[in-house]
Structure 1
Amino acid sequence: MQTIQFSDFQKVEIRIGTIIQAEIFSEAKKPAYKLLVDLGELGIKKSSAQITENYVPENLVGKHVICICNFPPKQIANIMSEVLVTGFHDQNGHVVLATSDLPVPNGTKLY
């Protein structure tokens, strides 16, 4: 594992948001959902997430997720993804979303 300086960590905008909309992203090359994430003062941002193995769209709405907010936007099929919703691979290699165990305001930064 490569070590980094604390100042490198401080450059990454890791914030929590709430998924307010989730739908099947049929235009994506790999199975994915289109998400709208409310990030408080940063606004509502779009994301594409390959999380179809462990989640269905109707169960994602209201879920608090940890996002990387300062990557440049990335074109994915017909949408511009504005944030990266983070997660971990489970024992089968499918993504489990990174969340908070207690509610905090949308847009709160990880320290």
Structure 2
Amino acid sequence: MAEVKPIITIDDIEKLDVRVGTILNVEDVPRSTRMVKLTVDFGEFTRNILVGFKQEREDPTEVIGKQAVFIVNLGPKKISGEVSEGMIFDIGYQDGIKPVLAIPEFPVPNGSRLG
């Protein structure tokens, strides 16, 4: 098991804008062996978020229509010619197991914030 990371403060957590969004579409990123582009509905806005699903899932499109948890206030980052506007939370990747989405217990309005 991984060691617990260093202690942070509540102020560190409050800097993150973590919201629930529904995955509307999954597109291949042709210039990448790992990345696909998710189009995610956050209620009042939509974002494109790149994720490494190509090697993690047989069919990356299986997540279309699912709600998941994302960080929406990361600065845009260009990866393999595409711009990513956030980050998905998944569970397991860093521990070497097949990742699963961090999802709400039951459907909530898109854009709902954690905290």
Give the structure-2-normalised TM-score: 0.85
Stretches of 4+ aligned residues off by more than 4 angstroms: none
Identity of aligned residues (%): 31
Deviates more, 1:62-71 or 1:92-101: 92-101
Instruction: Please say if 1:21 is aligned against 2:33.
Output: no
Asked if structure 2 preserves the Cα contact closer than 8 Å seen for 1:51 and 1:96, the reply is no
**TM-score when scaled to structure 1?**
0.87
Task: Say whether the 8 Å CA contact 1:18–1:64 is kept in structure 2.
Answer: yes
Partner in structure 2 of residue 5 of structure 1: 9
Give distance in 2, aligned partners of 1:47 and 1:73: 9
Q: 3-state DSSP class of the match of 2:50? A: strand
CA offset digits 1:8-48 (Å, max 9, x no partner): 111100000000000222212x322111000112x110011
Alignment length (residue pairs): 109
Of 75, 96, 99, which residue of structure 2 is paired with 1:72? 75
Unaligned runs of 5+ in 1: none
Q: Which residue of 2 aligns with 1:49?
A: 51
Task: State the superposition RMSD in angstroms.
Answer: 1.7
Tell me the SS of whatever aligns to 1:40.
coil
